[in-house]
């Protein structure tokens, strides 16, 4: 298996995933009465959407500089 080099887009996507998922989960737990299963589902969707958006933006900027 070849070693894969981590890019800036990978780091940005991971950071966005972690920050958004943590924020959404805490806000839903504190401010709403949403069931736990639904809360985790919303958290996962929001985190994945944030990670995909961050990855797309950073990778596009990196390609335009090249």
Domain ranges of the chain: 1-65
Tokens 């991971």 belong to which residue? 14
The structure's pTM equals 0.82
Q: How far apart are CA 20 and CA 25, in angstroms?
A: 8
- pLDDT tens-digit readout, 33-58: 999 999 999 999 999 999 999 999 99
DSSP characters for 13-66?
A: HHHHHHHHHHHHHHHHHHH----HHHHHHHHHHHHHHHHHHHHHHHHHHHHHH-
**From residue 39, how far is each of 12, 27, 60 by CA, in Å?**
24, 10, 32
> What is the predicted pLDDT for the residue at 24?
97
């Amino acid at each position: 298996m070849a070693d894969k080099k981590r890019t800036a887009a990978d780091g940005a996507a991971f950071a966005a995933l972690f920050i958004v998922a943590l924020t959404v989960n805490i806000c839903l737990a504190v401010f709403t009465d949403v069931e736990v299963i639904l809360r985790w589902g919303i958290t996962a969707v929001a985190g994945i959407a944030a990670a995909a958006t961050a990855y797309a933006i950073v990778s596009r900027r990196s390609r335009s500089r090249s």
